[in-house]
Amino acid sequence: MLKTGVVADRAYLNHCAGHEHPECPERVRVLLDMLGGLKRNALRVIAPRPATRKELTLCHDGAYVSFVEGAAAFRDYQFDPDTYACPGSFETALLAAGGVLTAVEAVIGGEADNAFAVVRPPGHHALARRAMGFCLFNNIAIAAAYLIETLGLQRAMIIDWDLHHGNGTQELFYRSSRVLYASVHQYPFYPGTGAINELGAGEGAGFTVNAPLPAGCDDQEYLRVFDELFAPIARQFKPEFVLVSAGYDCHARDPLGQMRVSEAGFAAMARRVKRLAAETCGGKLVAALEGGYDLEALAGSTRATLEEFGREADEPAASAHAGRRADAVIEKALFTLSPFWSV
């Protein structure tokens, strides 16, 4: 059985996004309860550390970091119609970014084979100078930049299975050939980005891979994207570390989306990223919580992911055969990316 580190802390309850906001403290509370019921000797809960200002500025403008810090002086600050802060938000956001770094450090240091960071606020919409989409700092992007700029890795991959396209992550690495960003998401939908022809620019051309699926797609469509689009490109890229923006709002019960993914589907996606990490980088894999707003679905799907992370990755995942609604998206994406990859 693989050793899985879980970064979790009750301090993540201290960010309040607004009255009756879907990104609520209960999301972490149900996950802490779920973790308390898991009986696995190879599962270790790790306390997070806060990110430093230097680490935040690997991706964010220093003035923006100070702006978010200043928002903590207000009882209730609104960055945009969806994104709020309270007096505890800045410290919690430091701990969210630092929590993903803690997970990365646990895997790099051999403390865990892989890890999952149960953090909030989420991060993949956050831009270099702007909060949006419930996100203050881009936790997963900071982790990728930390791997490259601080730890000296040459190549990192981010796989984003959140319902929404990670526009912030894409923008931060759009001109980089050292971070391969691959996103499967409902389209057209918030935030309006993530079309197939958004594939990177300059040295980063071909290193952004988008699979914009129509509403109503289920496990099979998602798995075909992994098998036929993401995996072939990732094997050529040969990442030295795999990161996952693990959003569970594409679950069939989630109130914010119209996708039909199940707990079994999330386990199958986790199996694929675990297999990919085993093939390319000795299993170095960290997932970080993004969305997921039906509490029961969130707990069940996260549990399915953690259980899969703990299993040995000896056998390749079985390929999906159904999921015909993904045909056109995969075919167009492969054609668009063919100048850059052998697909």
Instruction: Round to whole Å and give the CA distance between 339 and 343.
Output: 9
- The count of other CB atoms within 10 Å of the CB of residue 335 is 11
Residue keyed to tokens 């290193």: 207
- Which of 330, 189, 158, 318 is CA-nearest to residue 258? 189
Residue keyed to tokens 């997932």: 287
Point out the catalytic residue in the list 15, 60, 124, 125: 125
Q: Are 206 and 337 in contact (CB under 8 A)?
A: yes
Instruction: Round to whole Å and give the CA distance between 205 and 339.
Output: 10
Known catalytic membership, residue 321:
no
DSSP state of 320: P
Instruction: Round to whole Å and give the CA distance between 81 and 66.
Output: 21
SS3 156: strand
In this structure, the dihedral spanned by the alpha carbons of residues 81, 249, 290 and 299, taken in order and rounded to 10 degrees, is 130
In this structure, the dihedral spanned by the alpha carbons of residues 124, 97, 249 and 213, taken in order and rounded to 10 degrees, is 30
Query: What would the two tokens of residue 244 be?
Result: 């996952």
Query: Facing residues of 114 across strands?
Result: 4, 285
Instruction: Round to whole Å and give the CA distance between 35 and 126.
Output: 28
Q: Are 261 and 250 in contact (CB under 8 A)?
A: yes
Instruction: Round to whole Å and give the CA distance between 5 and 173.
Output: 27
As annotated, the active-site residues are 125
